[in-house]
Every structure is written in C-alpha cells, then in structure tokens.
C-alpha cells in the first residue's frame, strides 16, 4: 500500500492530487460504513416494548378486576414481602371468599418463583393478603393468580420489572 502510494507520488511528481484521492477514498469508506450500520439498525428487531406493568387490570375472561400492590408500598429486593390482591366484580363489588392460587417466575430466565407465596388473610373489601413474595434478582417477574369465587373462575397475570 505504502509502496504503491510512493509510486503514485513519484510518478505524478505532485503529492497533492494523490492525497485528495486518499481523502476521497476515506470518505467513500465512511459512507459505506454508515450504510452498513444503517442496514444493521433498520433490520435489527426493534426492542420489544416492555411487559404491561399495570397494577390493576381485568382478569383474563373479564370476570373480575384485580389490583396488586405491595402492602407496604415499596418493593424491596431480596426480602420476603406481603402484597395485597384486591378483587372486584366487573360491576365494582368486592369479591369475597375467593380461593386464590399463586404461581409465577421469570420468563427470561426460565425459572419459577424462589418462594411459594400464598393468600394468607382476607382483609375485607375484596382485599387478600398474598404473603411470602420474594424477588431475589432484578429483571422481569410474573405473578399469576388463579381466582375462584361465586362468580366463577378466572386468572390474571401481573408483570413486575425490577
């Protein structure tokens, strides 16, 4: 390469023109790079929108409206915590006497929950204490509730991102 450049310079007798050539080549290469990057960016899968992290939602078949909040307001990673699951009918009446199952895990890590949370107390007004929740790591967690009450059985999934 250098030899070639030297040859060109000595042949032409003037270095200026050949330097312009190099600059031109450099610009060409830069343009090519920008083009490649553009293609990579445009064809790369767009980062999926994060999971729906709303704390209140309709259950899968629309039987209930469920809300899920940490009992003490904050999520503390690595500590056993209780949360409150509040169940209302579509008409807004509190759901009493529900049988609740809890499961879940981390979809991106392919493992379940590190604890077995349970519905431990009914606090009135459709509010159930879900105790024994522990988020041992940051990331996307899912908690799935199976709910059976007078109105029927339904389920709901809450996403929690730490």
Partner 1 sequence: MRRLARVASLSALAALALLGGCGKPEFSDAEKKTIASLALNTLPALKADTTNQYADVPAAAALGSTLFFDVGMSRDGTVSCSTCHKIDRQFQDDLPQAVGVGRTNRRTMPLAGVARDPWFFWDGRRDSLWAQALTPLENPLEQAGNRAAFAHYIKNRFGERYERIFGPLPDLSAVPANASPLGTDAEKAAWNAMPASEHEDVNRVFANIGKAIAAFERSIEPQQTRFDRFAIDLATDSKPQGDAAFSAEEILGLRLFIGKANCVTCHNGPRFTDNSFHNTGVPPVKDLPPDRGRVDAVAQVQADPFNCFGKFRDGDASACRELRFMVKDGQDLVRAYKTPSLRGAAARSPYMHAGQFSTLDEVVAHYSKAAPSVEGVSEVHPLDLSDRERAALVAFLKTLSE
Which residues are near partner 1 by CB under 8 A? Answer: 5-6, 9, 15-16, 18-19, 22, 77-78, 80, 109-118, 131-132, 134, 136-139
Q: How far is the CB of 19 from partner 1 (least distance, A)?
A: 6
CA dist 27 and 35 (Å) reads 12
Q: How far is the CB of 120 from partner 1 (least distance, A)?
A: 9
Cross-strand partners of 85: 68, 128
The token pair at 156 is 């709901």
Strands 99-106 and 140-149: antiparallel
Q: For partner 1, which is the closer residue by CB, 18 or 159?
A: 18
57 vs 129, beta carbon nearer partner 1: 129
Comparison of 89 and 115: residue with beta carbon closer to partner 1: 115
For the CB of residue 40, give the shortest distance to partner 1 in the complex, in Å: 19
User: Distance between CA atoms of 98 and 150, rounded to whole angstroms?
Assistant: 8
Nearer to partner 1, 16 or 44 (CB): 16
Q: How far apart are CA 66 and CA 102, in angstroms?
A: 14
8-state DSSP, 48: P
Residue 91 Cβ, how far from partner 1 at the closest point, in Å?
34
């Amino acid at each position: 390469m250098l030899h070639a450049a030297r040859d060109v310079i000595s042949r032409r007798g003037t270095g200026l023109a050949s330097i312009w050539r190099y600059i031109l080549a450099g610009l060409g290469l830069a343009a090519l790079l920008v083009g490649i990057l553009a293609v990579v960016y445009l064809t790369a899968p767009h980062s999926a929108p994060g999971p729906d992290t709303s704390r209140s939602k309709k259950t899968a078949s629309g039987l209930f409206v469920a809300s899920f909040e940490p009992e003490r307001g904050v999520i503390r990673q690595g500590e056993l915590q209780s949360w409150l699951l509040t169940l209302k009918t579509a008409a807004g009446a509190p759901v009493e006497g529900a049988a609740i199952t809890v499961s879940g895990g981390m979809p991106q890590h392919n493992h379940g929950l590190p604890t077995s949370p349970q519905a431990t107390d009914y606090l009135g007004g459709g509010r159930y204490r879900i105790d024994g929740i522990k988020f041992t790591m940051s990331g996307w967690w899912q908690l799935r509730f199976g709910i059976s009450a007078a109105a029927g059985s339904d389920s709901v999934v809450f996403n929690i991102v730490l």
